[in-house]
Structure 1
Amino acid sequence: MQRLKTRPQFQVTLACGIVSRTAHFALHRSPLDRSPAGDSRPDHAGPDARPLFGVQDVWVGAMVPKRWARRAVTRNTIKRQIYQVSATFEPRLAAAAHVVRLRATFDRSQFISATSDVLKRAVRAELEQLFGRVADTGLAEQAA
């Protein structure tokens, strides 16, 4: 599994739309052969251009905005959960770029501690549900 690192990789993946969502997360997926639209930079144009995704593999990125998780420790905990759950689903995911985006806050009155086991379990359960919805469909699309 590869991790998304550059802004263009995230932008291309987010532009493709949502393939799965839960109460707190959205999963975006993009085929690996997409290029940034309207990008006229020389490294993305011409026959000798470098591809945005260098390897045919499962690519995963995590977006956890401050807007939805104020504390850095909470953002880091959620990102770790995203990468751990995605690693368990990797064999069942299509070779594509995936971005998991936090789209709502976890209620601080219910999850008082920033790294409580209750929060980790809730995040993990939702992420498993999110990836479970697209895991097998991604392989079916790839085989067709």
Structure 2
Amino acid sequence: MSSGPPVAKTVHFALHMAKSHEPGGVPDLFPGGGAWLGVLVPKRWARRAVTRNTLRRQIYAVARELTAGLPQLPMVVRLRSGFSRGDFPSATSDALKREARAELLQLLGERLARRQRAPAVVSPATPAPQADDAPA
């Protein structure tokens, strides 16, 4: 799997996605195809284990809700900056959960919206008859 820069970012999270996922690739890290989600919540940005676990649960919950729209590729959601202890003094407050959830919906929703806006491949069709081609 080759990944590059994030495909979407919010204040606290980044979404990375595989550039290509071809069956039989070397090595075949993701057998069976489908969407794969990895979560990276480093101690650097979430010191307390209860906070890291809360954020992981929020990431998996939002991804589970959006499963139908997610691309069938390996993805990683990464915590890229910490939540302020001044704003969220409790390690696992409802306010922290709401804020994380809102950002995750924005992060994954932005990716889904971008995916839906991508132009579809249109097969060439027979051209419609022109006005001067019409039978008299």
Give TM-score, length-normalised by structure 1: 0.75
Structure showing greater radius of gyration is: 2
Match of 2:21 among 29, 32, 49: 32
**Contact 1:94–1:139, Cα closer than 8 Å, also in 2:** no
Q: Which residue of 1 aligns with 2:91?
A: 114
How big is the shift at 1:96?
A: 0.4
* Deviation by residue 1:103-124 (Cα, 9 ceiling, x = unmatched): 0000001101001000000000
CA RMSD of aligned residues (A): 2.3
* Deviation by residue 1:82-116 (Cα, 9 ceiling, x = unmatched): 00001111111111011000000000011010010
Percent of aligned pairs with the same amino acid: 46
How big is the shift at 1:135?
A: 1.4
What letter matches 1:32 in structure 2? Answer: H
**Contact 1:22–1:130, Cα closer than 8 Å, also in 2:** yes
Match of 1:90 among 51, 62, 67: 67
Give TM-score, length-normalised by structure 2: 0.79
Which structure carries more helix by proportion? 1
Is the deviation greater in 63-72 or in 15-24? 15-24
- Matched residues in 2 for 1:92 and 1:136: separation? 9
Provide structure 2 residue ranges, at least 5 long, that are not aligned to the other structure. Answer: 122-136
Whether 2:43 is the aligned partner of 1:78: answer no
Provide structure 1 residue ranges, at least 5 long, that are not aligned to the other structure. Answer: 1-11, 37-43, 45-49
Structure 1 stretches of 4+ moved >3 Å: 136-141
